[in-house]
Amino acid sequence: MAGLGEGGRPRRLRRARDRGRRRAGRAPRGHAGLRVAPRRRRAGRAGRGARRPRGGHVLHLGHHRPPQGGRLHPPLQRPAFDGLVHGRRVRDRRARRGDGHRPHVPRQPYACLLVGTDIVMPGRFLVPDVLTSLLVERGVTFAAGVPTIWQAMLEPMKRSRDRLGRLRTVICGGSAVPPSLQKAFHREVGIRIVHAWGMTETSPMGSVCRPLAAHRDRPPDDLDALLASQGRPVPGVEVRIVGEDGSELPWDGRAVGEIEARGNWIASAYYRDRACDRFHDGWLRTGDVASIDPDGYIRICDRSKDLIKSGGEWISSVALECMLMAHPDVAEAAVIAVPHPRWCERPLACVVPRPEARERLTREALIEHLRPRVARWWLPDDVVFIDQIPKTSVGKFDKKALRERFRAHVLPDAAPPPG
């Protein structure tokens, strides 16, 4: 946990009776303020020996600032709904993928314990053939992972289709599911991927995409389009979309605004950061921009901070831009996401060279400039040189225009996996 947060002074991580063990249980200075073993309430305050339900503290990774810790409400009420949402049953066996993004990790074991299911842990090495064999041999009925996991497992699962008879639910989150992947799973594996949306602050499930009874008779293409959305809010979560002026927008499938969410297990503040503007009047500003149709299906259109989600992991375009513009031969640089067949999104750097460097500045020089400064999987897959970066009316980089211009850009090489 070292270095994960600067949300306050260290807190005790475990209880101990003697003074020496108490000291040993303290986190080193600089650790995140996370209490994993809450103390008993003092006798007389809530009845002798009584314990009041406690919430959990979780950390989400910081992208533009240090990581933030959030207080969530009593953790056992959430998994009860989680089990209902996904239809888990006593005879289920759930496979947990090592998907990198694990908000509020205890949620899944709690949910499985509450409904009496087995949990199958695949381990560190996520080899597609091995994972598919695990699904078959263990009779897994419910499995979850990010799109890159399912993209890699598509071919092995097609070959094992006749032996996957017990697999009932495949849920996918962390980033948008490519429509082509969804169609391939349905038509070639015989299983529909269930799309879900959420974030650490929503514990993490905010919505899940399942068709209503009225949708069952839709043509396959129409149903595929519906299931490519992020779905409807789960029980206990209320969402709305708001415009730039803060006004609530209609659920007509056309109006686009930022998603705000509230509910019993939605974080209400960051730890020791009550002034954060992401929380107001009980609502959480999610940073995702979307439309909502009359049936309540959410369709995310963009991300307000232009983050790039590659294989379920975040890449900060702003951080890459700052490092690129630190190169002496670069005048301006903007980084955008472009589609990738395996990782869903990868960074593309759009660079304006200085006039005197137009002939000597190369893609390789910029990649080498970034290499010692960022993780390997943060490196842009390609660099394009342009005359100028389009600007908005207030002088900001118009990334929407750049994405439109380069939406069909073909990346030269496959990107390395995150991590």
258 vs 392: CA distance, rounded Å? 19
Let me know if residue 364 belongs to a domain.
yes
Which of 277, 303, 329 is the C-terminal boundary of a domain?
Answer: 303
Residues 240 and 151 grouped into a single domain:
yes
In Å, how far from its chain's centre is CA 327? 31
Identify which has the larger pLDDT, 320 or 126: 320
34 vs 81: CA distance, rounded Å? 25
The CA–CA distances, whole Å, from 181 to 168, 186, 345 equal 17, 9, 14
Residues 110 and 241 grouped into a single domain:
yes
pLDDT band at 365 (very low <50, low <70, confident <90, very high): very high
The pLDDT value given to residue 36: 34
The pLDDT value given to residue 163: 92
Let me know how long the chain is: 419
What value, to the nearest 5°, has the Cα angle with vertex 299 and ends 258 and 392? 50
pLDDT band at 133 (very low <50, low <70, confident <90, very high): very high
Q: List pLDDT tens digits, range 60-83.
A: 544 444 555 555 555 545 554 555
365 vs 55: CA distance, rounded Å? 50
Residue 204 preceded by cis peptide, ω within 30 = yes
User: What CATH number should be reported for the domain holding residue 206?
Assistant: 3.40.50.12780
pLDDT band at 46 (very low <50, low <70, confident <90, very high): very low
CA nearest neighbour of 147 among 377, 344, 419:
344
User: What CATH number should be reported for the domain holding residue 334?
Assistant: 3.30.300.30
Let me know if residue 294 belongs to a domain.
yes
The pLDDT value given to residue 419: 52
Tokens representing residue 132 in the block: 């598919």
Residue 270 has pLDDT above 60, yes or no: yes
Residues 299 and 313 grouped into a single domain:
no
The pLDDT value given to residue 252: 95
Residues 226 and 261 grouped into a single domain:
yes
124 vs 227: CA distance, rounded Å? 30
The pLDDT value given to residue 309: 80
Residue 155 has pLDDT above 50, yes or no: yes
100 vs 418: CA distance, rounded Å? 8
pTM for this prediction: 0.59
Identify which has the larger pLDDT, 19 or 314: 314
Residue 38 has pLDDT above 50, yes or no: no
The pLDDT value given to residue 172: 86
Let me know if residue 415 belongs to a domain.
no
Residues 251 and 294 grouped into a single domain:
yes
**Averaged pLDDT for residues 86-92:** 54
Residues 84 and 221 grouped into a single domain:
yes
Tokens representing residue 96 in the block: 């947990």
**Averaged pLDDT for residues 19-30:** 41
Range with the lowest mean pLDDT among 70-84, 92-106, 135-149? 92-106
Residues 188 and 272 grouped into a single domain:
yes
Domain encompassing residue 233: 77-303
Q: List pLDDT tens digits, range 295-315.
A: 999 988 756 667 788 888 878
Neighbours of 265 (CB within 10 A): 25
The pLDDT value given to residue 79: 54
CA nearest neighbour of 114 among 167, 78, 143:
78
68 vs 157: CA distance, rounded Å? 38
Residue 418 has pLDDT above 70, yes or no: no
Average model confidence (pLDDT) for the chain? 76
By CB neighbour count within 10 A (0-12 exposed, 13-18 middle, 19+ buried), where does 45 fall? Answer: exposed
Q: Domain count for the chain, please give it.
A: 2
Q: In the chain, pLDDT over 70 holds for what percent of residues?
A: 69
Residues 167 and 136 grouped into a single domain:
yes
Which of 303, 319, 352 is the C-terminal boundary of a domain?
Answer: 303
The pLDDT value given to residue 311: 87
The pLDDT value given to residue 93: 59
